[in-house]
Amino acid sequence: METIKEAERTEYKELQDLYQKFIKEKKQYFEDMRLLNQKILSERKRLKDEEVFFAKKMEILKGGYAQLEADKRQLEQDRVHFESERSRGAFSSDEPAVRMLFRGVTNPLTLKKRYKDLIKIFHPDNICGDTDMIQMINQVYDKMQEEVSWQRKA
């Protein structure tokens, strides 16, 4: 009988150990689930933030492309206007037409910036490049440099 009681105690002890082990595993499982849920929530928040950031970048790009398209249309209108003025014989040379590309320039820094921008556009190595146009731009730039520096001295 005592051996049976001893066996029962041993079995009871083993069951208690298994139960304690089960409780520890259950706690670990819930802790792991809590950590995973935190990670999921933080990743969802990060993705949401990235989505908002991407949407803002897309808005900026769309605005930039819209502005670029408007500038392109304005440049085309200016080109048509220049061509029509030239064909009517309004200009004895193309210098006044090129001078219009420098309109609004009042100081040496803006003159230099506009000159560099025009050179980038009309440089002969570019697809739209034109050697004659570059020469006219250089002539007008030199004259305008003198005018702007003269105005500065006055």
* Record: fold of 91-154: Helix Hairpins (1.10.287)
Q: How does residue 8 score in pLDDT terms, banded at 50, 70 and 90?
A: confident
What pLDDT was estimated at residue 90?
53
Spatial separation of the C-alpha atoms in residues 143 and 101, rounded to whole Å: 14
Residues 6+ apart with CB under 8 A from 134: 119, 122, 123, 124
Q: How far apart are the first and last CA of the chain?
A: 125
What's the average model confidence in pLDDT over 41-46?
96
Q: Is the pLDDT of residue 35 over 80?
A: yes
What's the average model confidence in pLDDT over 106-113?
88
Task: Report whether 124 contacts 134 (CB < 8 A).
Answer: yes
What pLDDT was estimated at residue 60?
92
What's the average model confidence in pLDDT over 98-122?
86
Q: Please state, for a pLDDT cut of 90, what percent of the chain lies above it.
A: 37
Question: Per-residue pLDDT tens for 50-109?
Answer: 999 999 999 999 998 888 888 888 888 877 877 776 667 655 455 677 778 888 888 889
Spatial separation of the C-alpha atoms in residues 23 and 125, rounded to whole Å: 78
Token pair 């085309």 in the structure block, residue: 76
Q: Indicate the SS3 state at residue 16.
A: helix
